[in-house]
Amino acid sequence: MTVPHQRLNERNIATSAPTTRGNDARFRTQVRRFLDQALTEDLRAAGRATIGTHSEIGACRIWHRRLYEQGWIAPAWPKEHGGTGWSASERLIFDQECAANDAPMLFAGGLRNVGPLLIALGSEAQRKRYLPPILSGEEFWCQGYSEAGAGSDLASLRTRARTEAYRDGDAYVVNGTKIWTTGAQHAEKMFALVRTSAGGKPQHGITFLLIDMRSAGITVRPVQTLYGEAEFNEVHFEDVRVPVADRVGAEDDGWSVAKQLMVYARASNTTCALLRRTLRRLEAALEAADAATRASVRDDLTDIELRLNVIERLEYDAARREGSDAGAHASVMKLRATELHQRMTELLLEVAGPAACRQWLDHADLAEPGGAFASAKYFATRAATIYSGSSEVHRNILARQLIG
């Protein structure tokens, strides 16, 4: 079967200027050459087998390091902080080629979320301490926002912190429990929201901290997901000391810091690169399907490709605006991308047929064509309209912007 979306997409990305198109074509060739030699078969298999928001963690670390050594680990960052200096269309081309060549999906909380946040709002000392190990992959970051009873209603969080004298300066002493913390079992660091004072509006009195996951008093308990992996965790804090120097923004004003970070997170958690990977698997499943099945989904596939191009355009616009994006744009992208992703996985499961569930229960290889991937991906993608703000919450945000 041909891959029409890919050709469509290659035509569509860039600006209309012929010289820019020529540069883009050269850039694409350069990226392909690099991926050809840098991606081993093991890394490609890990990329194909990706079910959740990142690939198997060992493959993530190896791939992160290779991109770092190439100088390509943080295309979205300003050049002076370690970015590549690529144009928006080059960044998109890079993502497309990584997806088309089954590169592993990075564990990217540092690169996509806390890194850009520290560049925007961190102190000079924080940038100096934290940006280099994010780039090199020595420190992976997880997000400690949600708690039992504080998900959509995040401002009701109860993990608390008080200050006391500690070593050569003051420290926050943190007690409480976070939940649904993706990758906490792999992360060296966590950015977290804690309550430092009560009374008044619930959004007031929250503070944004950078916490070392290797600190005494932290216990991580994996939580098994619907699709069988322990992607997220419960994290307990018992008298955990966090130097006051590791606070971002002012004490009690972490809400505004957290909101800024969520704009980065929401615009980047279901990217077109992720959608294109799923589409590739759908196309592979269709190749193995009978003619009647292929005919029955042709219209759906065209519709999916068109919608994907629209989302890619939104992503391109966001990249051109260099992250100074309004929350509404991030909400539109998150809604459209996650809902399309779910639709793709529904179609994938339909094409894979009833055998898919059996193959998954039999632990068939997720990197191989076949139904196991379809089943696992279908279940994993149910979560996409919940994390980083549920679809209902994003519709509320948009409604407030529209209606006031």
Ligand X SMILES: Cc1cc2nc3c(=O)[nH]c(=O)nc-3n(C[C@H](O)[C@H](O)[C@H](O)COP(=O)(O)OP(=O)(O)OC[C@H]3O[C@@H](n4cnc5c(N)ncnc54)[C@H](O)[C@@H]3O)c2cc1C
Interface contacts to ligand X, rule CB under 6 A: 142-146, 151-153, 180-182, 232, 383, 386-387, 389-390, 392-393, 396
CA distances from 376 to 99, 100, 229, 256 (A): 19, 21, 10, 36
Q: Pick the closer one to ligand X by CB: 208 or 232.
A: 232
DSSP H or E segment with residue 59: helix 57-70
Q: Pick the closer one to ligand X by CB: 87 or 388.
A: 388
CA separation for the pair 352, 95 (Å, rounded)? 27
Q: Pick the closer one to ligand X by CB: 13 or 209.
A: 209
Q: Pick the closer one to ligand X by CB: 185 or 197.
A: 185
Q: Pick the closer one to ligand X by CB: 10 or 234.
A: 234
CA separation for the pair 333, 328 (Å, rounded)? 9
Q: Pick the closer one to ligand X by CB: 53 or 87.
A: 53
Q: CB of residue 387 vs ligand X: minimum separation in angstroms? A: 4
Q: CB of residue 149 vs ligand X: minimum separation in angstroms? A: 7
Q: CB of residue 5 vs ligand X: minimum separation in angstroms? A: 27
Q: CB of residue 359 vs ligand X: minimum separation in angstroms? A: 23
CA separation for the pair 178, 147 (Å, rounded)? 5
Q: CB of residue 340 vs ligand X: minimum separation in angstroms? A: 18
Per-position DSSP letters for 253-307, written without gaps between them: BHHHHHHHHHHHHHHHSS-HHHHHHHHHHHHHHHHHS-HHHHHHTHHHHHHHHHH
| In 112-178, alpha helices (H) | 115-121, 124-136
Residue nearest to ligand X (CB): 151
Q: Look at residues 121, 130, 144 and name the one whose alpha carbon lies nearest to residue 74.
A: 130
Q: CB of residue 385 vs ligand X: minimum separation in angstroms? A: 8
User: Is the CB of residue 141 less than 8 Å from the CB of residue 113?
Assistant: yes
